[in-house]
Chain A
Amino acid sequence: MAIRIENLSYVYSEGNAFEKKALDQINLIIPDGQFIGVIGHTGSGKSTLIQQLNGLLKGTSGKIFYNDQCIYDEGFEMKKLREKVGLVFQYPEYQLFEATVLEDVCFGPKNEGLSPEEVKERAIEALNQVGLSEEYYEKSPFELSGGQKRRAAIAGILAMHPEVLILDEPTAGLDPKGRDEILDQIKKLHTERGITVILVSHSMEDVANYVERIIVMNKGCVMFDGIPREVFQHYRELEKIGLAAPQVTYVTKGLEERGWKIDTMVTTVKEAKNAILKSLGK
């Protein structure tokens, strides 16, 4: 039960003046139940990569296996794959279209062909998971605030009961409070339902606090792949490609340069605090 990507390449507008190589020989294994962060600068191929995972884009060459079945095989049911691999696009609130929030969340499960009762049940469950209470069910999606709209849109995917949840910049354009709420809820879903979560972001802080594995994309290639504290040790290389390590990494690195004996493998504020206290001998 996993996603396996083999030698995947993707070229936009192949064969004319606008040709652009977006993915170049990607090899990845995404085991079940992992919480993965995909980071990279704009145009690094991260959005293209995640659209490959549920078959919205088809690789120019290479293969993708979902549970050991190649998704490009003839007769492979793309629709089933899209139920299993839920993809929340950037600014998902722009896909809302129904008259009420509840109906909009019902759209996904309805397309799966479930009975009306089950559809409603799933929609309510999903809305609960993202923290939208009953008072919003009958409201028009366009009356909601930005953060609420986004949560309604995420619920629209969750209602399909995906085994893999992919989120493309779920916190873009949200205030810090809205950002933390959404990320906390995703973390909760991950622990409670054990689903695989792939979080695409360019904010290191976001990613560092939540994920257990980071994939760094650069120019269509995987540049680093590992646990956060290891990846952030390459902060100089990360800076070169327009990214950065979390601020606390810089703090501990700076202290080390000034002669402190300190553990620099920290990614969160809490870890940094402990490392500093330890170094002070307290």
Chain B
Amino acid sequence: MIRDITIGQYYPADSVIHKLDPRVKLAGTIVYIVSLFLFQSWIGYVIATIALFSVIKISKVPFKFMVKGLKSIIILLMITVIFNLFLTPGETLIQIWRLKITKEGLMTAVFMAFRLIYLILGSSVLTLTTTPNNLTDGLEKALRPLNKVKVPVHEISMVMSIALRFIPILLEETDKIMKAQMARGADFESGGLIKKAKSLIPLLVPLFISAFRRASDLAIAMEARGYRGGEGRTKMKPLIYKTRDKMAYIIMLLYLVCMIVITRMI
């Protein structure tokens, strides 16, 4: 049951995209998102589609997994489409009572829908091909200049990676405690709101206790191994750009230039 929830949703596969430096993927995602908002014409969509689908193909992640991420924005998508469809002024196509569907409205609605879908798909490529730890590592290194303005970049990324690391652990723990209490006849599903909330006590108390215990164990384990913050700390796997990362940057740049030139010319 709870085991089936995926958060961080990394999909392990052996592909070039998986091996890329997380900073490249971060930059790529940003470039892609920006590019989506650069153009107005259909040719831009064609290029964005080709780019997106070739990246997905290379990443070896089944398309089915990508689509999963779209479920969460379905409502947002519908609202956007409906508002654009009915509220854009212009040449009327169909009129039902006082609701007008205009040619311009139809165009914007379709384009906006594509934009949103591509936005989500593009960013799922990042989360599906990068482990959470790798991602925070990348963020830490990319944001390092902020250290100069006294932002504790290392500490923030450490907190982030620990939090991410603990999500599956706590999910498993929740599953275990739930089962243990169900074996004692606990019922988490039926009853009204108050009864349901009350039935959570046998779950939450042990869960919190275990979370605190784990946190304190982790703190001791970190100190025992000499952890004292980010200063002077080196990495076991330092992020260093390789040839493929440089290639990826060049491809990204080409894509962006292409986008700008073509959409401006046509």
Contacts and interface: CB of A to CB of B under 8 A. Distances in A.
A25 B187 CA distance: 30
Name the residue among A13, A82, A97, A156 with the largest chain B CB count within 10 angstroms.
A97
30 contacts: A12-B3, A13-B3, A13-B4, A16-B65, A17-B11, A17-B12, A51-B179, A54-B183, A56-B179, A56-B183, A79-B185, A79-B187, A82-B182, A83-B185, A89-B179, A89-B180, A89-B183, A92-B180, A94-B176, A94-B206, A94-B209, A95-B202, A95-B206, A107-B181, A107-B184, A107-B185, A108-B184, A108-B185, A157-B183, A160-B185
Contacts of A51: 179
Given A56-B179, A97-B206, A82 B3 contact: no
- Give the interface size class of chain A: 20 to 34
B206 A96 contact: yes
B266 interface: no
A16 B185 CA distance: 32
A86 B180 CA distance: 10
A157 B179 contact: no
Contacts of A157: 183-184
B177 A95 contact: yes
Given A12-B3, A83-B185, A108-B185, A95 B201 contact: no
A82 B177 contact: no
B205 interface: yes
B186 interface: yes
Interface residues of B, number: 23
Q: Which of B3, B13, B185, B186 has the most CB of A within 10 A?
A: B185
Interface in A131-160: 142, 156-157, 160
Main secondary structure of the interface of B (DSSP, over half): helix
Contacts of B11: 17
B184 A56 contact: no
A111 B183 contact: no
Nearest to A15: B64
Contacts of B182: 56, 82
B127 to A, nearest CB: 15
A7 B202 CA distance: 35
A17 B4 CA distance: 12
Interface string A1-42: 000000000001100110000000000000000000000000
Contacts of B187: 79, 111
Contacts of A82: 182-185
B210 interface: yes
A170 to B, nearest CB: 13
B177 A94 contact: yes
A121 interface: no
Nearest to A109: B185
A34 B93 CA distance: 79
A87 interface: yes
A82 B184 CA distance: 7
Contacts of B184: 82, 95, 107-108, 111, 156-157, 160
A83 B55 CA distance: 53
Interface string B164-183: 00000000000011011111
Given A13-B4, A107-B202, A111-B187, A95 B181 contact: yes
A221 to B, nearest CB: 22
A112 interface: yes
Contacts of B186: 107, 111
Given A13-B4, A17-B12, A87 B183 contact: yes
Contacts of A89: 176, 179-180, 183
Q: Which residue, of A51, A111, A160, has the highest number of chain B Cβ atoms within 10 A?
A: A111
Contacts of B209: 94, 142
Nearest to B201: A97
B180 to A, nearest CB: 4
Interface string B183-199: 11111000000000000
B185 A112 contact: yes
Given A87-B183, A92-B180, 18 more contacts: A17-B11, A54-B183, A56-B182, A82-B182, A89-B176, A89-B179, A89-B180, A89-B183, A94-B180, A94-B206, A95-B177, A97-B206, A107-B202, A112-B185, A142-B209, A156-B184, A160-B184, A160-B185
A113 to B, nearest CB: 9
Contacts of A54: 183
Interface in B32-86: 65
